[in-house]
Amino acid sequence: MRILVTGAAGFFGHHLVARLLEQEWVTQVVGLVRVGKVGTLARLGVVVQILAGAGESRRLELVHHDLRSPINRFTAGEIGEVDAILHVGAETHVDRSIQDPQSFVESNVLGTLHLLEFARRLPGLKWFNYFSTDEVYGPQPNGHLSLEGDPYNATNPYSASKAGAEQLCLAFANTYSLPVFVTNTMNLFGERQHPEKFIPKVIRSIQRGEKLIIHADPTRTIPGSRFYLYARDAADGLIFCLQNAEQRGRYNLVGSEEIDNLDLALRIGRIMDSMVRYELVDFHSSRPGHDLRYALSGEKLAGMGWRPATDFSAALRRTVLWTLEHPEWL
């Protein structure tokens, strides 16, 4: 297969590109890249070095394009025909979406529309994946796991933009018979993540001896929690869906362990053999749009035969130690 990956210079995008290129049935990956607030070609440099060493650099082709603009005939010619499109590029940070909601609507909704318009004119397209988030379902009470297709309850501009893009994809599947499937995932982590994200932020705070702010409930006693998922496992899960999905299907990619953010910070402190200075803050009251707990059910994919392969503690340790050895990413 020849596969187009959007956001290839992003955190998850470059992990997905690397994992795809390890598959014998993938003949070429076309990476659509935009170097913006979080995208950087330095991530893909790692992939390029590996390919060059193996004499397989032709298997990765990069096309520079900002999806906030339509894909014109010249860019379409650069991309060429592809068998599958994995649309993982997006603006993803809740804080920035609260500060600048327009840029999130432009990138995540309008950008998805432009890609769908390109996709529906491709002959022989087998799959179009929209890579979405748990946050479209909104905050969940303790013990509840969101199922595929539960009602939307977006509570911030980021999650609303992802929900809107999901609906566009499903509308194109219905109207134009585009072969769409949607994946929703939870918080990803791994090597070369942007320092605005929680795990690299914790590492940096511990290194600098700074107080870490951890959002909690109004009583400031219950920290927020997530099912963190190692990026390489998320890439494997998406590849599994690419091989097993149903048209208009929805699939949750979920980490194996729910962990609250205070426990996570303390685990990172133990790996670094350092003390963690922290303060629990009622984050939602001070900044509406932040939610205490997101949670997805992973039973559908588990029933199909996929679960994350990497032990969470091992993946966390690997990520922390790698980041300490590469401080430029902080």
* Residues with catalytic function: 134-135, 158
Three-state DSSP at 231 gives helix
Helix orientation angle between 11-20 and 231-244, rounded to the nearest 10 degrees? 60
Structure token digits, residue 214: 């951890």
Residue 89 and residue 16 in contact, taking contact as beta carbons nearer than 8 Å: no
- Distance between CA atoms of 311 and 291, rounded to whole angstroms? 26
- Residue-wise over 249-279: b if at least 16 C-beta within 10 A, else e? ebbbbbbbebbbbbebbebbbebbeeebebe
Element (H, E) at 302: helix 299-304
Three-state DSSP at 275 gives coil
Bridge partners of residue 87, in order along the sequence: 6, 130
Largest CA distance in the chain: 58
Residue 259 and residue 313 in contact, taking contact as beta carbons nearer than 8 Å: no
Q: Measuring CA to CA, which residue among 214, 326, 231 is closest to residue 266?
A: 214
Looking only at the bridges linking them, the beta strands covering 84-87 and 2-6 are parallel
Backbone Cα Rg of the chain: 19
Element (H, E) at 70: none
φ and ψ of 118, to 5 deg: -65, -45
